[in-house]
A and B are shown apart, each in its own frame.
Chain A
Amino acid sequence: MTRLLARPELGSVVGMVAIFVFFFAIADPFRQATSMGTVLYVSSTIGIMAVPVALLMIGGEFDLSAGVNVTASALTASMLSYQLSLNVWVGVVASLLFALGVGFLNGFLVTTTGIPSFLVTLGTFLMLQGANIAVTKQVSGQVATDNISDMDGFDTAKAIFASSFDVGSVTIRATVLWWLLFVAVGTWVLLRTRPGNWIFAVGGNVDSARAVGVPVRQTKIALFMGVGFCAWFMGMHRLFAFSTVQSGEGVGNEFIYIIAAVIGGCLLTGGYGSAIGAAFGALIFGMTNQGIVYAGWDADWFKFFLGVMLLFATVLNMWVRRLAVRR
């Protein structure tokens, strides 16, 4: 029992149940199975990014460029294949290299200069935000990319990144399954592998980790590249789900990923947290996001209610954890 209460994700589970019950009681559409498909989809688009962001936070760093990196990879893949008339898979692979490169650069700069990641990634965030719009306009003459749905390889890519299937009356999007896979992999890495042990150590006490021979630099760079990888994945989802990408999108999402990780029990100071918790955090966010709409609340108050819900979940989380420590 004590062991269970000490799990970082416990608070988020309680919060998730509370929010589920709340919207189940007040919002009629929330009770239908078909709506759950939408809720899960919205949660998965946050949750896929929340996993590497949580791992990075446990490792003691932030990545503010995560949101725009999603858009940047989608733009890279789309414009490269369209402008050069290549199979879209060429763009997919090239954008993977790009996104990993952004992650590597973040990690390299943070570990080399010793400047807090908050500042380094704020820099890359602004750079990418500007480059997204500027390069897109330069290349395609407009602020959105051209539709690539009739290009070679689009269908296979869509099948992987953006397909959906029906279970009874419920439409399940592929991202939900990918999300589950990423959470499983994240948890496995964190709890069952050497690098996982190192992640906890570099976030918990970087000097002592270094002193016992943990490769601090490599661990941190790998974490940033993990964020890059998932940003690429979400970028591909956006591209193949909608065939085109708006260059200004993704700004602000980085905070949502961080919020999901924090609700899921990650400490802002690093060294503590879990990938499963981040998944529950994303689910809380997704349920609140959709629940407010299903409940028919005034859209002007949307952000306000969202804030109340998140605050509620976080306070509950803290309260549960304190209860756990007291035992």
Chain B
Amino acid sequence: MPLIEMTGVGKRYGTIVALHDVSLRVNAGQITCVLGDNGAGKSTLIKIMSGLHQHDEGELLVDGEPARFGSPRAALDRGIATVYQDLAVVALMPVWRNFFLGSELTRGFGPLRRLDIDAMRRTTRDELARMGIHLGDVEQPIGQLSGGERQCVAIARAIHFGARVLILDEPTAALGVKQSGVVLKYVAAARDAGLGVVFITHNPHHAYLVGDHFVLLNRGRMRLDRRRDEISLDDLTREMAGGDELTALTHELQRT
């Protein structure tokens, strides 16, 4: 059974159709890539899955049961964690505070209930080390880490808190080649750990490096839905760049 299954999902903001008739599945241990240009509906799709917005057409099944998330917390409680490209972390806060933000460990009771700072620092250091990130000081503001490291901390955080589905919003968009490679390694590591991953990107090369399944969105609609063995990187790149429209345009512009 897929972890998440969407059938015919749609979303309108007033009279604007942001998403229409989108279907996709997220399986454990697999990476589903969602591709599309700006305004294709990628972020609306994420918002529905992560509980920031609700869909108004179609069905969203989690573990085979229909679901609607009222808040990000509700999605998190079902094991669906989202890592956003630009707002994954609070830059001025120390690494360990970011790691445990929203799920802080405490000890003591009543008015003496306080943060268990030592445990959180230790856990942060250990969890990051397990993913191969060795930070000298988890007390430093996370804003001082590189973009790739920040994404990795956010991914490590999601895994630590028992995410079964990891939604990654353009994790490589703002990164250089080397940094992107680091992040893609952790995306693969998350898959190998048995998580279902939704990898949102507009870079078909990055998608093809790790993806098992590709969904292409265009102006809120699904243009393409292929397994890895059904499509080559070249085709994916061509589809991403405009597909048949591009072919038509190429003919049109060709000198006779």
Specify which of B88, B90, B103, B117 lies most central, judged by the most chain A CB atoms within 10 Å of its CB: B90
Q: Which of A3, A200, A213 contacts B103 (CB 8 A)?
A: A213
Chain B residues, Cβ within 8 Å of A192: 114-115, 117
Residues of chain A contacted by B88 (CB below 8 angstroms): 208
- Among the 9-residue stretches B91-99, B125-133, B226-234, B235-243, the one with 4 or more Cβ atoms under 8 Å from chain A is B91-99
CB distance from B132 to the nearest CB of A (A): 23
Residues from chain B with Cβ under 8 Å of A214 in the complex? 101-102
**A213 pairs with B93, CB closer than 8 A:** no
Contact of B72 with A by CB under 8 A: yes
A1 CB-CB contact with B under 8 Å = no
Q: B-facing mask of A204-238, CB < 8 A → 1, else 0? A: 11011111111000000000000000000000000
User: CB-CB < 8 A to A207: which residues of B?
Assistant: 84, 87
Question: Is B27 located at the chain interface by the 8 A CB criterion?
Answer: no
Cα of A211 to Cα of B49 in the assembled complex, Å: 12
Question: With an 8 A cutoff between CB atoms, is B73 at the interface?
Answer: yes
The CA of A210 and the CA of B50, in the complex, are separated in Å by 11
Q: Is B89 an interface residue (CB 8 A)?
A: yes
Bitwise interface map of A from 192 to 210 toward B, beta carbon under 8 Å scored 1, else 0: 1110111011001101111
In whole angstroms, how far apart are the Cα atoms of A298 and B154 in the complex?
Answer: 58
Q: B247 near A: Cβ within 8 Å?
A: no
In the assembled complex, the CB of A205 is this many whole angstroms from the nearest CB of chain B, namely 4
Complex contacts, B97 vs chain A, CB 8 Å: 197, 200
Q: Is A272 an interface residue (CB 8 A)?
A: yes
Expressed in whole angstroms, the Cα–Cα distance for A193 and B105 within the complex equals 10
Inter-chain CA distance A307–B89, complex, in Å, is 37
**Interface size classification for chain A:** 20 to 34
Is B76 in contact with chain A by the CB < 8 A criterion? yes
Q: What 1/0 flags go to A259-286 for Cβ under 8 Å of B?
A: 0000000010001100000000000000
Contacts of A209 in B (CB 8 A): 90, 101-102
Identify which of B87, B106, B139 contacts A194 (C-beta below 8 A).
B106
Of the candidates B87, B104, B113, B115, the one whose C-beta lies within 8 Å of that of A208 is B87
Asked whether B72 lies within 8 Å of A213 as measured between CB atoms, the reply is yes
Q: Which residues of A contact B114 (CB under 8 A)?
A: 188, 192-193
Cα A210 to Cα B76 with chains together (Å): 12
Question: Counting CB contacts under 8 A, is B82 at the interface?
Answer: yes
Question: Which residues on the A side are within 8 Å of B117 (C-beta)?
Answer: 192
A-side contacts of B102, CB under 8 Å: 198, 201, 209, 212-214
List which B31-79 residues lie within 8 A (CB) of chain A.
Answer: 50, 52, 71-73, 76
A192–B97 CA distance with the chains assembled, in angstroms: 11
Please name all residues of chain A whose beta carbon is closer than 8 Å to the beta carbon of B89 when the two chains form the complex. 205, 208
Partner of A271, one of B73, B82, B90, B106: B90
Complex-state Cα separation, A245 to B76, whole angstroms: 51
Closest residue of chain B to A3 (Cβ to Cβ) is: B139
Q: What 8 A-B pairs have minimum CB-CB distances, sorted nearest first?
A: A204-B90, A212-B102, A208-B87, A213-B102, A213-B73, A205-B90, A207-B87, A192-B114
- A-B CB contact pairs (8 Å), 19 listed: A188-B114, A193-B113, A197-B93, A197-B97, A197-B100, A200-B93, A201-B101, A204-B92, A205-B89, A205-B91, A208-B84, A208-B89, A211-B72, A212-B72, A212-B102, A213-B71, A213-B73, A213-B76, A272-B92
